[in-house]
Amino acid sequence: MIVAERKRIPELVDILQGYKKILVLGCGTCVTVCLAGGEREVSIISSALRISSTVKGLGLEIEELTIERQCDNVFIEAAADAIQRNDAVLSLGCGAGVQAIAERYTEKPVYAGLNTAFLGILEERGIWTEKCAACGDCVLHKFGGICPVTRCAKHMLNGPCGGSREERCEVRPDRPCAWQLIYQRLKSIGQLDRLNAIEPPKNWEPSLSGGCRGIVREDHRI
């Protein structure tokens, strides 16, 4: 899922300067699961904005709404009335959600209330870690399902680097060495021989080298 975290209240107040009626718009998908922009966070951030507004005399009027998915036109429709009756939208969706709303409502200022961080998973309660860099050319099958592009601090495809200490990364000692994990995983599935193969330089063309990416499925086009 897409993992994000909320911006701090003073930054949000600064972003919303000059507007009176604000719609705080949550998203019921990824950012709900990572506890950053769902219905509950919409409620908390809206309360904090109202309190801040009253304390500082800003006169903000905050409306709350959470829709199923901000990155999908079908669901955005549910927010149409609320968006129209407010001066600006503070989206608690990921970066894709914010832009989807802004593209749909060209006359309405739409601002991001979250910092979209990465594609990851819930490691344990309250801890999320990055697992995928969305590089566009997946190599997971070669490394036992552990991604060296994302999880090795040096992005090494022919690791390990030799700097790890007690199975921990030398760049981020709080993280396990990705190549140690790859070794253990390949060993447990009986594919250690994969480590004999030299991995050629990665093709970064499907990554962000040519600007934003897109996928066209002719079989689904109308």
Partner 1 sequence: MRLQYPTNIRIIRTPCTGKLEVEYFMRAFENGADGVLVAGCEEGSCHFIEGNFMAKRRVNYARGILAEAGFEEERLRMINIGAADARRFVEAVTDMIETVRKLGPNPVRTARPNTARKQEIHT
Question: In the complex, which residues of this chain contact partner 1 (CB under 8 A)?
Answer: 8-10, 40, 43-44, 47-52, 54-57
Of 42 and 169, which CB lies nearer to partner 1 in the complex structure? 42
Q: How far is CA 67 from the centre of its chain?
A: 18
Query: Residue 3 corresponds to which tokens in the numbers above?
Result: 């993992």
Q: How far is the CB of 222 from partner 1 (least distance, A)?
A: 43
Of 44 and 189, which CB lies nearer to partner 1 in the complex structure? 44
Q: How far is the CB of 127 from partner 1 (least distance, A)?
A: 13
Distance (Å, whole) CA 94 – CA 198: 37
Positive or negative, the CA dihedral 178, 184, 189, 195 is: positive
Of 13 and 117, which CB lies nearer to partner 1 in the complex structure? 13
Residue with tokens 């962000």: 208
Q: How far is the CB of 139 from partner 1 (least distance, A)?
A: 39
Of 42 and 67, which CB lies nearer to partner 1 in the complex structure? 42
Helix (H, G, I), strand (E, B) or coil at 44: helix
Q: How far is the CB of 121 from partner 1 (least distance, A)?
A: 21
Of 47 and 158, which CB lies nearer to partner 1 in the complex structure? 47
Q: How far is the CB of 156 from partner 1 (least distance, A)?
A: 37
Burial tier of 159 (Cβ tally within 10 Å: 0-12, 13-18, 19+): buried
Whether 173 and 165 have beta carbons less than 8 Å apart is answered as: yes
